[in-house]
Each structure stands twice: as structure tokens, then as C-alpha cells.
Amino acid sequence: MTVLVIIIAVLLFGLVILIHEGGHFVTAKLCGIQVNEFAIGMGPKLFHFTKGETEYSLRLFPIGGFCAMEGEDEESDNENAFEKKPIWKRALVIAMGAIMNLVLGFVFVMILLIPQQKFMSTTISVFQDNSATQAAGLQIGDRITGIDGYWVNTDKDLNFTLALANPDDVDLTVQRDGKTIEFSDVKFHTMTAQDGSQMLALDFYVMPVDKNFGTVMTKTFDDTVSTIRMVWASLAGIAQGRFGLKDIAGPVGTFSMIGKVASQSVQNGGFQLAMENMLYLIMVITVNLAVVNLLPIPALDGGKLLLLLIEKIRRKPLNRKIEERINIVGFSLLMALMLLVTVNDVVRIFNGTGIGG
């Protein structure tokens, strides 16, 4: 059963890639841009055929894909070349990959929510015995809206921020009877994690939200936004040094994680729980792919959008050689980072911690 779950997860991961590249492909076709090749996977071709002007291929390594458009990376006299189209069309084609990943993430969130009987809020309903938060002054009916400066709108936000918080010094913001009240330096009780570290112990329960069409749609949107913010906050944490190489996973680490989640879920709760955990993991991956791809870094979609913005401001494109050099440098740095992350993933499989572990 574990193998079946892993196969399904890999297929879902392939769907993430297909949706991303399909966003580029369909939008390019609608904008009249010639697509020379549409590929899922990287490396040697396993299967391919040509229809019209486009070659469609399935490649060996399921770690990416591409939509190769005429005139995207080279000069072309073809009237249907990417570079011949208006800036807004080119920007739409580039952005649509990430947009479709966000749409897919929205769909996955909805699929995960529909079987649930009720949803969790951020409003306190019951305190546990000897509650530290109750002793600090929080009351039943308080709606938590902020933790350590991070805006809290959903239970996902609540769990994310509390997981990163220092148990001895938590700043809480709540809404009570229409008023905003702040509690500084709240000290939570702690519990011991599997790795021996101390982590915050939640000492209250939140009120449930009844399930209906309206709450399903609202919760789906809010949870998708929460996931986007979680990914963005994690990237910011990496940039600020809060998270290190041990917290980053590449393709090898992702597939290893999929295998571990599948195995543990099947052992603990059977096929249904395994599928729910897999779907949640893939949902985070597709949102992560969207956010990372929109970063203004050369060789990523965000970097291409930045160059189009510069072209719009200058009213003329950058010199082709300068643009090529920017993309080469960006691509080289990206490949170096991917190599480092992949090596770290492989080392982590053997020592559990990665490079330096």
C-alpha cells in the first residue's frame, strides 16, 4: 500500500509540473505564439510526437519541464515569435505558470476541506487546566489576530506561528468585544519533541466553524492565502538566516519526504490518512513552486517579468547580449544552488541531518 501511495504522490507531483507548464503553453497558444516543444520531465526523451508546429515529449527525470517558445531565448524573424508579441501578452504567458499552480493549490485545499465536518477558527473556546495563556489574561471568546507580529487569520496561521515561537516570550494580539488587546512576553508551557528540543505546548482549544457552501469557499480561499504567506515567511526566514540548509529540500529530498510521509501515514492511519497527508504535501509544493517562480531572480519567471518591466519603462528591450548574460549568470547560480541542495538531500538520507550533520 505504501508503494501505491508513493506512486500516486509522484503522479500528483507530475500534475503540478503539467499544470505549471500547461499554463505557459495554453496561454502562449491563445496569444498566437509558436511553441516549438512542450516537455514534462528533464533529460533524455522517453516518448515524443509532433503535432502541428509543436513537439510533445515525456522525459526521464520527473523534476521539471519546459515550454520552449520561438524567439524566447534567441532572435527570430517569425511573426509568431515570443519576442514579437506585445509586452502584456509576454507577461501573461510567463506569469500564467505560477497562476495555474496557485489555482491547483486552491483546488487541493478544497478537496482536503470537503470531507471535514467542521473547521477550526482562531477564537478560544476552552482552556486546559493550569493554562498559561489564561493566567496571562486571555479569555474565552478572544479571537487571536496576531502572534509575534505575524497576522493570524486562520488556524494554519496559528499553528505556523506557534511552531516557530519562543515558548518563553510570545507576543499575542486578540480581538475582544470589538477592541484590540495586546499581551506581551507570554510564557507558554513546553513539551519535548522527538529530537529532544523543547517546543511550545498549546493550552487551549478553539471554536469550530459550521460547514456549508459559504464557509467551504471562504475557508478554501483563506487557507490558500495562509499557505502562500507561510511559504513567503519561510523564504524570508532563509534570507534572514533563521532557517539553514537543513531546512531546505530539493527534488531528492522532496521524494524522500513523500516516501516517509506515505510510510508513516499508512502505518498510523491507513490509506485515507496517507492520501490526505500526500495531498497536503503536494498542495504546499505547488504553492511553493508558484511563489518561488515569481521571485525576481534571473532564469526564473519572476526574473523574466522583471526584464519585461524594465523594457516597459525604457520603452525598448534590453540589449540581447546583456539579457543573455543576465540569464546565464542567474541560471548558473540557480544550478549551483540546486546541486548543493541535491547533495544535501542525499547526505541527509544517510545521516538524517544533511551537510554538516
- Residue 45 to residues 38, 62, 86, Cα–Cα distance (Å): 12, 11, 33
Which residue bears the cell 469557499? Answer: 217
Residue among 224, 280, 288 nearest 251 (CA): 288
Cα separation, 53 vs 49, in Å, equals 11
> Between 213-239 and 155-164, two packed helices, what is the crossing angle to 10 degrees?
20
Cα separation, 246 vs 11, in Å, equals 26
Neighbours of 158 (CB within 10 A): 20
In three-state secondary structure terms, 69 is: strand
- Residue 228 to residues 101, 286, 287, 294, 300, Cα–Cα distance (Å): 11, 10, 6, 12, 18
Q: Rg of the chain's alpha carbons, rounded to an integer?
A: 23
Residue among 86, 33, 38 nearest 311 (CA): 86
Q: Write out the DSSP string of 123-164.
A: EEEEEPTT-HHHHHT--TTPEEEEETTEE--SHHHHHHHHHH
The type of residue at 134 is: Q
Contact 198, 192 (CB under 8 A): yes
Contact 319, 353 (CB under 8 A): no
21 given a catalytic annotation: yes
Q: Which residues pair with 191 in a beta bridge?
A: 199
Q: Which of 21, 53, 72, 74 is catalytic?
A: 21
Q: Which residues are catalytic?
A: 21
